[in-house]
Amino acid sequence: MSEPTTRFQVGRREQGKRLDRFLHGRIPGLSRTRIQRAIKERVELSWGVRARPSTPVQAGGTVSIGYTPLVEELLEIEIPVLVRGPGWLAVNKPSGVPVHPVNRIRENSLIRMLRRQERHAELRLTHRLDAETTGVLLIAENRETARSLSLSFMRGLVHKEYLAVVRGVVERDSGNIDLAIGPARDSQVYVRLEAGHGRESSTAWKVERRFADRTLLRLFPRTGRRHQLRVHLEAIGHPILGDLLYGRDDGPYLRLVRGEGDARADDDGPSRQLLHCARLEFPDPSGEGTRTVQAALPSDFEGHEQE
């Protein structure tokens, strides 16, 4: 193992605790799945035993987590710029690109690729889209503009419209989903949420088109909870087509994070969740009225809009 970057001393009261539970207590922000993977790859124990998730820790011993150098080949993906304004720009986010550095993706996150593309090191995110979600994303060119746009999102001054292809035929033409969102209590996936408890959340929707076994919906989130649209649509029985986390059990997502082959191998649906931020309307940070930015549906929606 390379030179350890983090060491944890085992206290007397922790004697005999499972190694994965010991580390989860010290690093609560990581899921048990990620901790168990790290144990297999880069954890050493001072008492000379091979590290396994179930290994009991010994009081007075040291658990060392080694640093694994990150090797990342730079991708040259052009990020389409939709509109430029004073101190900001709006881009059409492609699918499969996380907006900020996460896990083993650093330089190939959208914000870092865009900084290289625009030759502007001060570009800042003002809101987020999931890695698989496409569409309008607002970027600030400086700290002041980032603060102004972020406050507009926080205060509910930004009107957001999404398009999603969902499973099943939605019978009503429009409606509202007013369901609180909180952590999923019976899931092994720590990022998973569920409707019915937690923070109040509201989404309006209307049908754009109906097909034989799916529906194209336009969605209007009135609150900005994480995974809100995905959770709300699962709750009403119409999960987003291609979503690996919602509308199914934990299995496919756990296979994905464990790197156990193709998580969609048994799925004849799309290769990503069909969710697209189609339109944003927001106060111009310069104070010059309201701006509207739209992004056309990406091509991968087309094959799933068939009778």
Q: Which residues are catalytic?
A: 130
H or E segment to which residue 138 belongs: strand 134-140
- CA 121 to CA 112: how far, in whole Å? 8
Query: Whose CA is closest to 96, among 81, 117, 77?
Result: 77
Asked if 233 and 165 touch (Cβ cutoff 8 Å), the reply is no
- CA 218 to CA 225: how far, in whole Å? 18
Question: Distances from the Cα of 209 to the Cαs of 213, 216, 307, in angstroms?
Answer: 11, 5, 10
Task: Please name the amino acid found at residue 216.
Answer: L
Cα 219 from chain centroid (whole Å): 18
What single string gives the DSSP state of each residue in 263-276? Answer: TTTT--S-SS--EE
